[in-house]
Amino acid sequence: MTAAGEPPSHPLEVFRGRLISVEVWPTRYREIVRHPGSCAAVPLIRDDVLLVRQMREAVGEALLEIPAGTRDVPGEESGACAAREVLEETGHRAVHVEALGWLYASPGFLDERIDLFLVEVEPAGGPGESGIEVVRLPLLEAVDLAAEGGIRDAKSVAGLLLAARRRGSDRDA
Amino acid sequence: MTAAGEPPSHPLEVFRGRLISVEVWPTRYREIVRHPGSCAAVPLIRDDVLLVRQMREAVGEALLEIPAGTRDVPGEESGACAAREVLEETGHRAVHVEALGWLYASPGFLDERIDLFLVEVEPAGGPGESGIEVVRLPLLEAVDLAAEGGIRDAKSVAGLLLAARRRGSDRDA
Alpha-helix residue ranges (DSSP H) falling in chain B: 78-90, 139-148, 154-167, 169-172
State the burial class of residue B167 (Cβ atoms within 10 Å of its Cβ: 0-12, 13-18, 19+).
middle
Angle, helix A154-167 to helix B154-167, in steps of 10 degrees:
50
CB–CB contact B56 A107 (8 Å): yes
Average pLDDT, chain B: 92
CB–CB contact A158 B154 (8 Å): yes
CA distances in angstroms from A135 to A43, A53, A66, listed in the order given: 11, 7, 10
Cβ–Cβ pairs < 8 A, chains A and B:
179
- Given this model, what pLDDT does residue B129 score? 78
Q: Which segment of A63-77, A144-158, B8-22 scores lowest on mean pLDDT?
A: B8-22
- Given this model, what pLDDT does residue A3 score? 45
> Three-state SS for B155?
helix
Q: Which is it for strands A113-123 and A38-45: parallel, antiparallel or unpaired?
A: parallel
Q: Which residues of B touch A146 (CB under 8 A)?
A: 162
- Given this model, what pLDDT does residue B126 score? 75
- Cβ atoms within 10 Å of A29's Cβ, excluding its own: 12
> Three-state SS for B86?
helix
Q: What span, in angstroms and rounded, lies between the C-alpha atoms of A12 and A24?
A: 5
Is-contact B60 B54, C-beta < 8 A?
A: no
Q: Which is it for strands B68-70 and B133-138: parallel, antiparallel or unpaired?
A: unpaired
Mean of the pLDDT values across residues A47-53? 98
Is-contact A37 A71, C-beta < 8 A?
A: yes
pLDDT band at B2 (very low <50, low <70, confident <90, very high): very low
Residue of B nearest to A149 (CA): B101
CB–CB contact B16 A1 (8 Å): yes
Mean of the pLDDT values across residues B7-34? 90
State the burial class of residue A144 (Cβ atoms within 10 Å of its Cβ: 0-12, 13-18, 19+).
middle
| pLDDT tens digits, A103-142 | 999 999 999 999 999 999 999 987 777 899 999 999 999 9
Helix (H) / strand (E) containing A133:
strand A133-138
pTM above 0.90, yes or no: yes
Residue B169 has pLDDT above 60, yes or no: no
| pLDDT tens digits, B128-157 | 778 999 999 999 999 999 999 999 999 999
Q: What span, in angstroms and rounded, lies between the C-alpha atoms of B105 and B97?
A: 22
| pLDDT tens digits, B52-102 | 999 999 999 999 999 999 999 999 999 999 999 999 999 999 999 999 999
- Given this model, what pLDDT does residue B9 score? 61
Mean of the pLDDT values across residues B3-16? 72
